[in-house]
Amino acid sequence: MCVSFHLKTVHDSFLIRKVCFSDESTFCIGEETSQYVRRRTNETFKVECIRTTVKHPTSIMVWGVMSAFGTGSLYFVEGNMNSEQYQRVLENHLCPSLRQWFRRTGYMFMQDGAPCHRSAKITNYLKKNRIPLLSWPGNSPDMNPIENLWRIMKSELEKCTITTKDQLKKKIEEVWRSERIQTLCRTLVRSMPDRLAALKAAKGLHTKY
């Protein structure tokens, strides 16, 4: 398993602040998560001791970008993400965040290896607009810090009563902009050198991160 990112950037606590991390994630109404329930022997099938689930929950896919400066633009994906839609995301959501954070210079952009991210259309767009990519191997542990952010956001949303897609969108945006998430962005990005050191020590296996 490849555990090297081939760049000094992610190992340097100063340079890592010049990296912005992007990803997509799906949020669901009534998303299933593990929950411990204490019950007596004869209460196994009591309604009060069983958590109901939704067979086909309402879901929303979002694209987001974060850096040591906090969260950037958030985009609600329409249907399946393809090259055309992804280019619009880069134009209308990534680039404004880059201008806000870095004034278009001295940064690296991280995206995963999804097919629409690696298409000729997107490759040409990134080159034309001089958006440098952070080298990120396809066969490696997912150490993208935005994954932690998604998980924390979903935990926050579990505390809310959400019944419609509009409510879910509104709450996602609210949590995404919250002060707690802004602080976590800085913490997560600054943890990258330690994350990679732990990953290397574990030889690509599980770490506390």
Report the length, in residues, of the chain. Answer: 209
pLDDT band at 135 (very low <50, low <70, confident <90, very high): confident
CA-to-CA distance for 145 and 142, rounded, in angstroms? 9
Please tell us whether the domain made up of 9-29+52-201 is placed in CATH 3.30.420.10.
yes
Per-residue pLDDT reduced to its tens digit, 89-134: 999 999 999 999 987 668 899 998 889 999 999 999 999 999 999 8
Q: Which two tokens stand for residue 197?
A: 């050191």
pLDDT at residue number 56: 55
Domain spans in the chain, listed from the N-terminal domain onward = 9-29+52-201
On the CB side of 38, how many CA atoms lie within 13 Å of its CA? 0
Q: Over the chain, what is the mean pLDDT?
A: 82
- Count other C-beta atoms under 10 Å from residue 139's C-beta: 9
pTM for this model (two decimals): 0.78
